[in-house]
Chain A
Amino acid sequence: MTTELAKNIRKNILNMVYRAKASHAGSSLSIADILAVLYENILNVDAKNPDFKERDRFILSKGHAATALYAVLAEKEFFPKEWLDKYCENDQLLSGHISHYVPGVDFSTGSLGHGLPIACGVALAKRTARSPARVFALLSDGECDEGSNWEAMLFAGHHGLDNLVLIIDYNKIQSFGRVEDVLDLEPFADKLRAFKWNVQELDGHNHEALQNCFANLPAKSGMPTAIIAHTVKGQGVSFMENKLLWHYKSPTEEQFQEALEELEAQP
């Protein structure tokens, strides 16, 4: 079920970036599995009533991976799938970076390092209101260069916000190079532990691992959970995998067809 959803998310991502001649295919493909498991089995959200008060909040802090979130929201019927064909077009709702004007999206992002502080605010307000709502923030690895995230990490750890879940899409490639070359995050898990977070590491494309982790939150009561999801940029389309180029390039028609065929052939 989640495998099928992830495949559809990927096909939609490719369709959108191909039609709009847009960037960030690799960044979106890398989080397709995480989103599939979250939206299929984990998040307490309702497409028919997207603004109900006690819903879980999902914040896509890496707003440039908008195509992936738009795709899963369309698949889950938050809005008509036809909207996806109008991605980035004049006077349409689906902007290049994620927009809160789209049903099912609570926060607009695009400038990096904004999602986690917002998530801390939501988590604190929800905890104070004794609400069952949880907050999930999905960050990119490159985004962790931003100091604002570390301010928020200090805060969440210090205050033990256990209704807050940070997911890091650790695909090892940032905007202009490999993370280890540009600004190394390692030892990443240790850094987060030192900030008083409960850290889980998993394969971000393994649905069973994602499911098991998400189904047992918080991983430790009284602590925020950080999930370091080891991923592959461009996952699912072999010629896009692990290549900086696909942070920027849009597929040609030939490449688009080839990518779709490859996805179709996958189980």
Chain B
Amino acid sequence: MRTMFIKELTKLAIEDPRIWLLTADLGYSVLEQFEEAVPDRYMNVGVAEQNLAGMAAGIAHCGNIPFIYSIANFPTMRCLEQIRNDMCYHGYPVRIVSVGGGFSYGSQGYTHHGVEDFAVMRSLLGMTVIAPCDPVETKALIEQSMHVDTPVYFRLGKAGEPLVHPEDAQIQLGRAAVVRNGTDLTFIAIGAIVKHAQDVAEYMAVHDGINIRVLSMHTLKPLDKEAVLKAAKETQGIVTIEEHSITGGLGSAVAEVLAEDCEDKVSFQRYGLADQKYSLIGDQKFLRECLLGDLRQKSLKIMKNPIVFTEVKINE
């Protein structure tokens, strides 16, 4: 994703003089190609995220589209108020790019785990939140985001993620991408963990005889409500899947839609990080297993014991 991101951004920047890239001293062996292609619109501001975010607002004010780049929580939480006041309130088309979302930097320790970014960024008024699952989505969404004239947050993974979609897949910002068709259960997943959801769905089709629909909800905000409601109507249950705290992220966003707008009976579970302090380190796969649990078991449980999420309509 990281590789595709910089390749696509560099290509766009050569054509579009509004595009800038600013980093807070991270991106070794990644960002160099942008700097070489458009040196005037590349800037390493040093290890100073507040200045990074404020400067991006100033650059955007002059008619530009600056991308700010860093890893994990540094370009979001460290400069959250600059994002809120200087970007969102002014409605500037700044793009915040965080690489290493979720447990990408798992062995580096808790400081480098990006597991609350969806909740934080989703709560900002006027912020678009995007987390592609593979290079195909990354390319399409970076390109389409150029038409969004307000702030956008991108959570990217690392380099070398496997493809989830075929290269010619039609990816549309704001619309969930169907990774796998299915009629029994729906996995709604976001980011790099979509691949895991896809793998578990394939396994369960063979071993458990359960046919699971897998949606990549790459645009967390604005959320594709229609895809959620359709899944609730056409399948027996929904499991949201994210490398993120169960509070405030995709699970919460889908739950909001189900609670307010869904007229169908549907079981619902959130697969994510429990709200408790942890000190565990390890690679991404290990941390997913230890901290997020077993997706298949959670899914089997929901099939055996459907939990009725909503029957009462608030609006009635």
Residues of chain A whose beta carbon lies under 8 Å from any beta carbon of chain B: 53, 57, 100, 106-111, 113-114, 116-126, 128-129, 147-148, 151-152, 154-155, 158
Among candidates B41, B46, B66, B85, residue contacting A114 with C-beta atoms closer than 8 Å: B85
Q: In the assembled complex, which residues on chain B have CB atoms less than 8 Å from the CB atom of A152?
A: 51, 54-55
- B residues with CB within 8 A of A: 20, 40-41, 43, 45-46, 48, 50-64, 66, 81-82, 85-86, 89-90
Knowing A100-B90, A118-B86 touch, does A155 contact B48 (C-beta < 8 A)? Answer: yes
Contact B50 A121 (CB under 8 A): no
Interface of A is mostly: helix
Residues A117 and B46 in contact, CB atoms below 8 Å apart: no
Q: Is the CB of B89 within 8 A of A120?
A: no
Q: Across the interface, which residues of A come within 8 angstroms of B81, CB to CB?
A: 111, 114
The CA-CA distance from A111 to B85 in the complex, in Å, is 8
A-B pairs with beta carbons under 8 Å apart, 5 shown: A114-B85, A147-B50, A152-B55, A155-B48, A158-B46
**CB–CB A114/B62 < 8 A:** no
Tally of A-B Cβ pairs under 8 angstroms = 93
How far, in angstroms, from A120 to B51 measured CA to CA in the complex? 8
Complex CA distance for A53 and B62, rounded to whole angstroms: 8
Query: Distance (Å) between the CB of B197 and the closest chain A CB?
Result: 39
Given contacts A111-B81, A111-B85, contact A117 B61 (CB under 8 A): no
User: B48 near A154 (CB under 8 angstroms)?
Assistant: yes
Report whether B62 and A120 are in contact in the complex, using a CB–CB cutoff of 8 Å. no
- C-alpha gap A126/B62 in the complex (Å): 7
Q: Please tell me which one of the listed residues A110, A121, A154 contacts residue B57 in the complex, with CB atoms under 8 A apart.
A: A121
A129 with B62: CB separation less than 8 A: yes
Q: Check if B62 sits within 8 Å of A122, measured CB to CB.
A: yes
- Given known contacts A117-B82, A151-B51, is B46 in contact with A125 (CB within 8 Å)? no
Indicate whether A108 sits within 8 Å of B61 (C-beta atoms), given known contacts A124-B43, A148-B54, A155-B48.
Answer: no
A30 to chain B, nearest CB (A): 24
Provide the bound-state CA to CA distance between A123 and B40, in Å.
Answer: 14
Question: What separation, in Å, do the CA atoms of A116 and B40 have in the docked complex?
Answer: 21
Shortest Cβ distance from residue B283 to the other chain A in the assembled complex, whole angstroms: 34
A111–B20 alpha-carbon span in the complex (Å): 26
Find chain A residues with CB under 8 A from B86 CB.
Answer: 107, 114, 117-118
Q: Nearest Cβ in chain A — how far from B265, in angstroms?
A: 44
